[in-house]
């Protein structure tokens, strides 16, 4: 599962997104009391392509990136920057060779709970197909 490494690198390197979220692009658990807006990266699936002769060396990952913010507009605006950074991206990022990334879906996400007495954050997500190369075991 290396799609998350490449997606994180692409998001971290994007100047427009960095101006909005700084370095707050998280894979896995988001630290409590993280300043908003921020993004949360989740690998939904990571499936190696098979041929009649075994693994092809290409893996198709589905990755969801959710932008969280205090308002729906700020979450949507941040998610739009994510979409601009990732959709149609390709190349090598942190040692992972990515074929063309394709946006699959997007929409409002349930808000992130931030504490029992606080208002939930607004969320907006985009889901992407991230095909990448992986060494095939001999």
Please state, in angstroms and as integers, the Cα–Cα distance from residue 127 to each residue in 33, 61, 79, 93, following that order: 25, 10, 11, 19
**Domain ranges, residue 29:** 3-133
Kindly state whether residue 138 falls inside one of the protein's structural domains.
Answer: no
- Residue 111 has what pLDDT? 65
The DSSP secondary structure of 87-120, one letter per residue, reads TT--EEETTEEE---EEEEEEEEPPPP--TTSPP
Kindly state whether residue 38 falls inside one of the protein's structural domains.
Answer: yes
Kindly state whether residue 80 falls inside one of the protein's structural domains.
Answer: yes
Kindly state whether residue 84 falls inside one of the protein's structural domains.
Answer: yes
Phi first, then psi: what are they for 24, rounded to 5°? -95, 60
pTM: 0.88
Kindly state whether residue 112 falls inside one of the protein's structural domains.
Answer: yes
Kindly state whether residue 43 falls inside one of the protein's structural domains.
Answer: yes
**Where residue 125 sits, what CATH number does that domain have?**
3.30.2000.30
Q: Which of 3, 10, 4 is nearest to 85 (CA)?
A: 10
pLDDT tens series, the chain, 138 aa: 689 999 999 999 999 999 999 999 999 888 888 899 999 999 999 888 877 777 778 899 999 999 999 999 999 999 999 999 999 999 999 999 999 999 999 988 876 655 545 678 899 999 999 999 987 666
The domain total for the chain is: 1
């Amino acid at each position: 599962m290396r799609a998350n490494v490449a997606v994180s690198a692409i998001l971290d390197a994007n100047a427009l997104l960095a101006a909005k979220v700084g370095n707050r692009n998280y894979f896995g658990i988001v630290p409590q009391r993280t300043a908003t807006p921020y993004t949360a990266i989740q690998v939904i699936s990571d499936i190696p392509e098979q041929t009649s002769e075994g693994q092809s060396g290409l893996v198709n990952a589905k990755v969801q990136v959710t932008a969280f913010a205090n308002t729906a507009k700020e979450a949507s605006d941040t998610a739009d920057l994510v979409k601009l950074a990732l959709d149609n991206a390709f190349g090598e990022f942190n040692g992972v060779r990515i074929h063309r990334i394709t946006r699959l879906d997007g929409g409002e996400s349930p808000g992130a709970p931030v504490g029992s007495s606080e208002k939930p954050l607004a969320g907006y997500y985009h889901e992407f197909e991230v095909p990448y190369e992986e060494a095939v075991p001999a």
